[in-house]
Structure 1
């Protein structure tokens, strides 16, 4: 048995080739981008089988599996619970049941990461302990050596290029459909039947009446309440709100116009809108009149893909320091952390006039002042293995301007993980908040 030693410009790392054997415990990771047809998780199952075969070929054993079914790795803001749990266990050095982790096996690099920040987090967690390996069907890789890192960067570049090409093809495909007047894909629009062409006998009448009432000056909230009283639900089963009613009655489709990515499509060389091949609900002048009763930030055409829901002038600034930076650390039924966004809402005491609560699971809340103070402590202390804030950043922080402080937080932190509290504990526990640094 020969141990391969790789020098990376710093300390010499001992690559664990000599340890490949049944005593090497591996974490198996699998991910698919979508599972919309069969919805049976067959993609991740197949990947896990391949991982088992790869581990067996190298005499290793899989002691833990981590999966993300139907979760994109290239879209910003998508939380992959399996990946987050893998990073957490690699950093801790063991599985939840206490078995040590000596490496990771995966079918391909792009299953693990397609974004530079995910690559950095994965390699940081993987190499946080000495002697670990990374396996795929192509062979065993040294995560500590320069060649291993360069191979990972090449894979990242290929994945990024592939993502851009696929995204462009998908945009072109949607545009071509729109230019031919084909209805939008996805769930059926409110007001039409499942064929997306024929008017719904009840919903179309509600939309037509709502447009007339709104032009006459009726508030949208009152229209939404009327729909709720009638027992109306959206095409996904939700209760009507002022926001959804506004989206429905200002959508160009109600008068037969076709839009794409938040813009009204025009016939090339003319100023005439492209007409869809479905039955309209109202005439174009009625649609233009109802749109004129709303501010630009509320219109459907300002809410398409790639367009902001509200204009920059109308965007409401954050009122609290930690707003948007907190993620829920509660455990789900599969033992993965929730990682849902925690939003501020009114509290019930003078000590906690506002609280941050997870809007995904609702099982984790924390006092607003406690979370803000914990975040400030973490920021001023700096990361354990990195430099603290610069003097200029500290001066900006001491100025007390909320916008400046939030800008500093965004520059050094990805988010903060908030662990669930313990009922009956009278004192604030600042250790509930842990930072995930950039």
Structure 2
């Protein structure tokens, strides 16, 4: 079995990177007297982000655990060009190692040769590779962040798709769109609702730079972006000149004056404004709101996808439908798994304060403070995070209203 992965494929978008890796894997296998019986490839998938699901990697783990490929051939090992193609997080290393060693006699191949995953040295080599991958990821993230900051302080326009209101060079205004933005800012200052502005744009047949129909959120992002008055932002913050403490001016033509931009921004409540393109951009109000529920960010979906792989998507809190369950946790990826919020919270307490939890560093004093209500939500979440990597939530049985605490399966640190 071979595994290939690339983090990005934004230029040619033809999967050439993973194709080249598959060829290299076949060559490595031949050099060691082996043959590749199945290839697994994830094109344009990051291995360092917990939120990214790699379908081929999940199929690889499932087949390793089963011991055979989908065509029924017995698996003798895994070949890849380098360990960082397989994993860049400790959790993925643990899952891969457990699946690979679930049967005896398997090997792992890469450009450096054969590795015995059952020996202490083989495991140490994998851990060292993981440490190198994590270090490289951090260094690369820092280099990219520094590169963007350097461009920002010089007033260079944002990269990516052109912003609404400017031509492809991101310098000169696109007259038709710029007039719409200027009118929207003036209308907003006079009290007009954003949704009404968005509806007017839709009636005029206006589309965004990516072809989508304008929404209230889109209009908000456009008219509150510092670029409309010539200011430069970086990572969601208005960039100030270190010498003068004044906003950095961009190299592009502004649509409105800074006074009009600030007046438009003042019509929104703090925390509701986006400073740059993208729904994931940080908000103008500063830090994100604190989690309101105990298990937020700690749950992963254990439902099976149609292809037989485990979803492992984030299970997030939402409003419930009954007095017994005023809130629930549901998977936003496959939408095949949902569980009562109070059931999860009680299950977590049982895990912490049962006979197993007592052996994992939860003191009697912490237990008393938790159960007496003296411990706040944030401290409870920190306690959970120090003991748990996450919890896998198994799907329930349709129509069964009983509380099955075993549906919450912990992955301990």
TM over 0.5: yes
Aligned to 2:339: 366
How far did 1:282 drift? 0.7
Change (3 A) 1:309 1:338: farther
How far did 1:286 drift? 1.1
**CA RMSD in angstroms, aligned pairs only:** 3.8
Aligned to 1:342: 315
Provide the rounded CA distance (Å) in 2 between the counterparts of 1:362 and 1:410: 25
Aligned to 1:390: 362
Deviations 1:335-369 (A, max 9, x none): 43333323222333445443333223434333434
Change (3 A) 1:144 1:32: same
Correspondence 1:58-73 to 2 at 5 A: 58-73=32-47
Aligned to 1:416: 391
How far did 1:71 drift? 1.7
Deviations 1:236-273 (A, max 9, x none): 45554444333222211101222223344455644554
Aligned to 1:196: 170
Aligned to 1:211: 185
Contact 2:235 2:282 in 1 (8 A): no
| Worse-matched range after superposition: 390-399 or 304-313 | 304-313
- Among 151, 169, 175, the alignment partner of 2:149 is 175
Contact 2:318 2:327 in 1 (8 A): yes
Provide the rounded CA distance (Å) in 1 between the counterparts of 2:123 and 2:284: 41
Correspondence 1:277-426 to 2 at 5 A: 277-301=251-275, 308-309=282-283, 315-318=289-292, 320-332=293-305, 334-380=307-353, 387-388=359-360, 390-392=362-364, 393-400=366-373, 401-425=376-400
Deviations 1:76-131 (A, max 9, x none): 54343433444455456565677665432211011122334443443344345544
Change (3 A) 1:271 1:412: closer
Change (3 A) 1:437 1:244: farther
Q: Secondary structure at the match of 2:271?
A: helix
Provide the rounded CA distance (Å) in 2 between the counterparts of 1:414 and 1:88: 21
Change (3 A) 1:109 1:28: same
The count of corresponding residues between Structure 1 and Structure 2 is 410
Change (3 A) 1:170 1:206: same
Correspondence 1:227-266 to 2 at 5 A: 227=201, 232-266=206-240
Change (3 A) 1:98 1:379: farther
Which 5+ residue runs of structure 1 have no aligned equivalent? 1-26
How far did 1:72 drift? 2.0
2:3 aligned with 1:29 = yes
Using structure 2 for the length normalisation, give the TM-score: 0.81
Provide the rounded CA distance (Å) in 1 between the counterparts of 2:71 and 2:372: 47
Aligned to 1:435: 410
Contact 2:236 2:283 in 1 (8 A): no
Aligned to 2:54: 80
2:127 aligned with 1:156 = no
How far did 1:144 drift? 3.2
Provide the rounded CA distance (Å) in 2 between the counterparts of 1:178 and 1:220: 29
Deviations 1:136-179 (A, max 9, x none): 13211122333323333433343334334433332333234334
Using structure 1 for the length normalisation, give the TM-score: 0.77
Q: Secondary structure at the match of 2:251?
A: coil
Contact 1:215 1:293 in 2 (8 A): yes
How far did 1:40 drift? 1.9
Q: Secondary structure at the match of 2:48?
A: coil
Provide the rounded CA distance (Å) in 2 between the counterparts of 1:161 and 1:314: 27
How far did 1:135 drift? 1.3
